[in-house]
């Protein structure tokens, strides 16, 4: 069943994978393969945080061929002109990629080449529109395509935006420009989930809730301080101070997933290529976990020793600014 059909009919579970830094993706494919039957799709990032990785289209194609489940290819405006975005999308469709997640992209100043300038001929709204127009056989210069794709267009949204009403308006605009599903940035509390779903209830777009399982206090601290688009509430640090372990991080994620199953259209897990975390999260879905081919999917286990790093002061990490999406 195609990802589009699953999203229309049932609660979906997807996970995000970062392509490798190099030309060999066999290790990532080997670790993803046993877990693949438990998921409805794997998303492939496009140089996330502006850090160099293998080309997203190439990795998405290889991943889909090797593991046999749909991929959701990320596409940013940062690195390509309008001409290159169009030819990239036509090539991806020819390689059997059917789903694209449109976003502006992280700024180069935080990435591998800090002196680089981004291209940004489009923003996320315009990119959604461009893909939708390609689906109709039209190019931005009004030329007609001889044959056209039929992408399912996705987008992203930030529930921790300081202006949630404004974020809802942005999501509505993306829907108006052709986006049919949204993946949120990681949400950590059911309160934030409820507020986001209430603010966007009027938008008939499929809502897939982002979940980033934390592997302990030190890991949470690292994420909060190094990833510019993530806000982590103080209560999360307090929970991990009391129980500094992967198990507690998974419990936090499970609590959110329990709420999302009744209120949203799916969940999207950000494992940051920690496959043992993906396997642990599947405890929420026994029927899916039963499909896993190899039960020891993650051999490395994180230390549960208490981290000697204090959580940020002032309630959370203070990163309440919207991500450029």
Question: What is the tens place of the pLDDT at every residue in 188-234?
Answer: 999 999 999 999 999 999 999 999 999 999 999 988 887 766 778 89
Per-residue pLDDT at 311: 40
Q: For the segment 78-107, what is each residue's pLDDT rounded down to a tens digit?
A: 999 999 999 999 999 999 999 999 999 988
Per-residue pLDDT at 325: 64
The second-level CATH assignment, the architecture, of 3-289 is Alpha-Beta Barrel (3.20)
Q: What is the mean pLDDT of residues 35-45?
A: 97
Per-residue pLDDT at 225: 83
Per-residue pLDDT at 232: 83
Of 245, 244, 301, 236, the closest CA to residue 274 belongs to 301
- E-strand ranges in 4-137 read 12-17, 41-44, 71-76, 99-103
255: which residues sit within 8 A by CB, 6+ positions away?
A: 190
Q: Are 237 and 217 in contact (CB under 8 A)?
A: yes
302: which residues sit within 8 A by CB, 6+ positions away?
A: 215, 216, 219, 246
Per-residue pLDDT at 229: 67
> What confidence tier does 294 reach under pLDDT thresholds 50, 70, 90?
low
Give the span between the Cα atoms of 76 and 227, in whole angstroms: 17
Give the span between the Cα atoms of 211 and 191, in whole angstroms: 14
Q: Evaluate if pTM is beyond 0.85.
A: yes
Per-residue pLDDT at 257: 96
> What confidence tier does 313 reach under pLDDT thresholds 50, 70, 90?
very low
- For residue 303, pLDDT over 70 is answered with no
Q: How much is the mean pLDDT over the chain?
A: 89
Q: How many residues does the chain have?
A: 325
> What confidence tier does 184 reach under pLDDT thresholds 50, 70, 90?
very high
> What confidence tier does 49 reach under pLDDT thresholds 50, 70, 90?
confident
Give the span between the Cα atoms of 222 and 39, in whole angstroms: 27
Tell how far CA 248 is from the center of its chain. 22
Per-residue pLDDT at 99: 98
- For residue 251, pLDDT over 80 is answered with yes
Per-residue pLDDT at 272: 87
Element (H, E) at 266: strand 266-269
Give the span between the Cα atoms of 85 and 124, in whole angstroms: 13
Of 288, 259, 212, the closest CA to residue 39 belongs to 288
Q: What sign does the dihedral 124-129-135-137 (CA atoms) show?
A: negative
Domain assignments of the chain as residue spans, ordered by start: 3-289
Share of the chain above pLDDT 90, in %: 78
Give the 3-state secondary structure of residue 73. Answer: strand
């Amino acid at each position: 069943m195609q990802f589009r059909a699953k999203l229309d009919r049932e609660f979906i579970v997807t996970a995000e994978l970062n392509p490798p830094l190099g030309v060999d993706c066999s290790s990532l494919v080997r670790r993803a393969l046993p877990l693949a039957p438990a998921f409805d799709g794997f998303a492939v990032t496009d140089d996330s945080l502006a850090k160099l990785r293998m080309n997203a289209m190439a990795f998405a194609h290889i991943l889909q061929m090797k593991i046999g489940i749909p991929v959701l290819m990320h596409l940013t405006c940062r690195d390509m002109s309008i001409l290159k975005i169009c030819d990239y999308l036509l090539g991806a469709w020819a390689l059997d990629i059917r789903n694209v997640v449109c976003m502006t992209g992280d700024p180069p100043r935080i990435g591998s080449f800090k002196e680089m300038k981004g291209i940004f001929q489009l923003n996320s709204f315009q990119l959604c529109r461009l893909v939708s127009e390609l689906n109709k056989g039209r190019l931005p210069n009004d030329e007609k395509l001889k044959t056209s794709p039929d992408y399912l267009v996705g987008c992203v949204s930030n529930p921790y935006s300081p202006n949630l009403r404004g974020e809802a308006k942005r999501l509505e605009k993306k829907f108006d420009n052709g986006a049919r599903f949204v993946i949120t940035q990681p949400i950590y509390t059911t309160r934030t989930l409820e507020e986001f779903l209430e603010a966007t209830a009027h938008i008939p777009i499929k809502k897939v809730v982002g979940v980033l399982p934390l592997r302990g206090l030190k890991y949470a601290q690292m994420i909060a301080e190094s990833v510019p688009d993530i806000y982590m509430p103080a209560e999360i640090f307090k929970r991990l101070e009391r129980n500094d372990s992967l198990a507690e991080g998974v419990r936090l994620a499970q609590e959110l997933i329990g709420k999302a199953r009744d209120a949203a259209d799916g969940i999207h897990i950000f494992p940051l290529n920690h496959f043992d975390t993906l396997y642990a999260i599947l405890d929420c879905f026994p029927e899916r976990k039963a499909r896993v081919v190899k039960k020891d999917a993650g051999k490395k286990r994180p230390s549960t020793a208490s981290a000697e790093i204090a959580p940020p002061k002032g309630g959370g990490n203070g990163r309440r600014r919207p991500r450029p999406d």
